[in-house]
Amino acid sequence: MISTPIHPTQTHYRKSINTLHPIIIKPKLFLLLISMASSVFLLYFLLFFALSSPSLSSHHRFTAPGGRRLDSSGRDPKVQQACRATRYPDACGSMLTQSGRLSPDPKPVDIIQSALSVSVENLKTGQGMVQNILDSSTHNPNRSSAAKTCLELLQNSASRSAAAADALSRGKIKDARAWASAALCYQYDCWSALKYVNDSSLVNQTMSYFDTTLIVSTSNALSMMRALDALGPDPVSWAPPKTERDGFWEPHQEASSGSGFGPLSGLAADASVCKGGGGGCHATVQEAVDAAPENLEGGKRYVIRIKEGVYDEIVRVPFNKKNLVFLGDGMGKTVITGSLNAGVPGVTTYNTATVGQSRLTLPPSAFLSPFNCFN
């Protein structure tokens, strides 16, 4: 049998291991264990502190650039309170906070003005999107017509938004509500016009933008105007709008005898229209409209007397022709007729009106009179 000699140092080493059984922990492993234990303790401490300390609770406030106090979600508590009056409070708060238009300590009117400014900016984006639809619809008469109608409606909406801002700055809250309501109506009508030609991704994206951004932002501004008018200047009392579906009816006053509704009498003609023209008489109604003064103020009316006859024409009244009155010779005697109908390619129902409002040519800052957005 062959035996293998063992070196003396090896023999000594084995004896040491067999008799003493030491546990050897390397320095690096020791430090790692200490670090892990410390981390677990620190995590537990922070969790306990976060749950128990009000300074880290959801009511924590911090100051944003510009001096505005924001909550832990990054929103202004005053804005959030005011946005409770809208149908879309979350979108309202986000849009206003991100707009950068709010002062450090905004008043309710300031918040509403900012909401209206957001709406106007979104409207400009919407106009650009509709213009893109028109530019890409050269060979599609129906889509092209719808886009043209949309651009006209959105221009009208811009005018109404400007009038709302003007009225709000002068403390005319009921006027501001009326103007903002018209602006919203025009935007919805544009969306509705696109609905019938939604045959491309561009139209679909534009409709989606209107539905989720433009109409929402205008609705928010209008809802806060309503709250200010109906519930007072303290946003704490503001609540979401209600309609007749909720059993709510807006209070109103009975119209007085001098309200301006109903037949008018004793009107003197400022201009006349007669078949064939001549003798200081306009040959067409449109000619008389074009010659009428612009932007009449002070409640003054401009009366156009249309004498007996059948006038085969389409009449368009520009926005800047305010307070025009058409006075005929009676039913069946003075007749204005056109030949447009929705069956004609490229003609929508909106464009079939015999007498209607034409596209606005004034700058958006002009203050204009009320006009039904459905024409």
Question: pLDDT tens-digit profile of 158-198?
Answer: 999 999 999 999 999 999 999 999 999 999 999 999 999 99
- Does residue 362 carry a pLDDT above 70? no
Mean pLDDT for 269-296 is: 94
Closest CA to 183 of 115, 260, 92, 267: 115
Structure tokens belonging to residue 138 = 């050269």
**pLDDT for 352:** 87
Tokens of 10: 């090896």
Against a cut of 0.75, is the pTM above it?
no
pLDDT bucket at 92, cuts 50 / 70 / 90: very high
Contact 77, 63 (CB under 8 A): no
Where along the chain do its domains lie? 77-243, 271-358
Candidate CATH numbers 1.20.140.40, 3.90.550.10, 3.40.640.10, 3.20.20.80; the one for domain 77-243: 1.20.140.40
**HSE-up (13 A, CA, CB side) for residue 151:** 15
The lowest-confidence range among 27-31, 59-63, 121-125 is 59-63
Which range (199-208, 242-251, 279-288) has the least confidence? Answer: 242-251
Which of the pair, 296 or 162, is modelled with greater confidence? 162
Query: What does the pLDDT average to over 282-302?
Result: 92
Task: Categorize the per-residue pLDDT at 303 as very low, low, confident or very high, splitting at 50, 70 and 90.
Answer: very high
Instruction: For 188-237, write each residue's pLDDT tens digit.
Output: 999 999 999 999 999 999 999 999 999 999 999 999 999 999 999 999 99
Predicted pLDDT at 125: 98
Mean pLDDT across the chain: 81
How confident is the model at residue 253, as a pLDDT? Answer: 65
pLDDT at 25: 55
DSSP class of residue 213 equals: I
Q: Decide if 108 contacts 232 (C-beta within 8 A).
A: no
Please report, for residues 15, 174, 179, 197, 234, the alpha-carbon distance to residue 229 in angstroms, rounded to integers and kept in the order given.
Answer: 97, 7, 14, 39, 11
Say which DSSP state 58 is in: T
pLDDT level of residue 73 (50, 70, 90 thresholds): low
Lowest mean pLDDT among 34-38, 174-178, 253-257, 307-311: 253-257
Using the predicted structure, report yes or no on whether residue 52 has a pLDDT greater than 70.
no
